[in-house]
Amino acid sequence: MKTGIYYGSTTGNTENAANLICALIGGSQVAPIGDAVRADLEACDLLIFGASTWGLGDLQDDWVDSLASLSGTNLRGKKVALFGLGDQEIYPGTFIDGIKELHDASIEAGATVIGLCSGDDYDFQDSAAFVDNQFLGLPLDDDNQAELTEERIRVWIDQVLEEAK
């Protein structure tokens, strides 16, 4: 299964998470979303997209510039898994909101989104990415729970790889 991991990162935290995901999966391509071309995305069976949320629910800048391209890509028959970084203490009402936009663009492109996560063990008030009592991907909070990031990624990757079969 060909896997591509694409991220947008301002401070490096999302890039670090993407690289850890790549190391755990092995044989994957990892790159900033700004470097991705439509053919790269369409060639993958599994796509993993990562983004941080800024301010009051804003998607990270690299993704803002690439979101229209994602919506126009043919992802029919592809699986997409999402991970997002945010701060659940300072922004408890918009925690990882950004991945909702990635979710919607992936669905619009024809993909099936996998890797939904429980809201257990998170302390937030609201999130656009929390739908039907599940996050639309893996939430990570390196500002307040950095010690949990690696294990959360390990568990999530096992789930994603199982769902991608």
Question: Which domains are seen in the chain, by residue range?
Answer: 3-164 (3.40.50.360)
SS (H, E, C) 34-95: HHCCHHHHHCCCEEEEEEEEECCCEECHHHHHHHHHHHCCCCCCCEEEEEEECCCCCCCCCC
The reported pLDDT for the residue numbered 28 is 82
Nearest in space to 113 (alpha carbons), one of 74, 158, 80: 80
pLDDT of 27 reads: 76
pLDDT of residue 140: 98
113 and 103 Cβ atoms separated by less than 8 Å: yes
Closest by Cα among 93, 119, 115 to 106: 115
**In which residue are the tokens 């190391």 written?**
23
- 127-141 pLDDT, tens digit each: 999 999 999 999 999
Task: Give the strand pairing for 58-59 and 112-114.
Answer: unpaired
Mean pLDDT to the nearest integer, 87-94: 96
Contact 61, 10 (CB under 8 A): yes
- pTM to 2 decimals? 0.96
- pLDDT at position 70 is 85
